[in-house]
Every structure is written in structure tokens, then in C-alpha cells.
Amino acid sequence: MSIDYIDKKFQGLQNEFIRQISSAKRSISYDLDKKIIEVKHTFIVNQPTTIPQISIEKLKEGLNIANSIIGSFFAIGKCIKEISRK
């Protein structure tokens, strides 16, 4: 086996890996966008007329989880860009 053959095989695996990660990222991003729209719609439709039942701390906790997920997407995006540059 020549080095060129091995390089081509690794390049093919790398391209497939990037394609699979990008596909998963798009899918998760799409699902996340749908959920965000659903939550926004729920807030608009269910405008509270009384004191909300959820505490501010629980709301902050939920937002922190969403922020960490978004941060993970940005990290994955950076990794994909770095791998594709090589």
C-alpha cells in the first residue's frame, strides 16, 4: 500500500466524518429552533395575569442549559472548520 492510498482513505474518512457531524448539527439546530419558537409562542399565548408559578431561579437554570447547548454548537462548528482547513 502506498502512502497516497492511505492518505486518500484518511481524507475520505475525514470528509465522511465532517459530513456526518454537519448533518447532526443541522438536525439538532433545526430541532432547537423549533423548540425555541414553540417556547416563544407559549409565552405569548399564555401571558400570565397573576404571579408566575415558576421561580426566577428555575428560569435562570433553564436558560443556562440552553446557553451551554448553544456554546457546544459553536465549539463543534469551530472544530469542523479547523478540520476542513487541514
At residue 39 the predicted structure's pLDDT band, cuts being 50, 70 and 90, is confident
Q: Which residue has the higher pLDDT, 58 or 20?
A: 20
Please state the rounded mean pLDDT for residues 25-40: 87
pLDDT-based confidence at residue 12 (cuts at 50, 70, 90):
very high
% the chain with pLDDT above 90: 9
Domain boundaries, given as residue ranges, for the chain: 3-85
**CA dist 55 → 39, 47, 58, 63, 64 (Å):** 17, 16, 5, 13, 14
Q: Quote the percentage of the chain above a pLDDT of 70.
A: 78
Cell 466524518, residue located:
17
Confirm whether pTM is higher than 0.85.
no
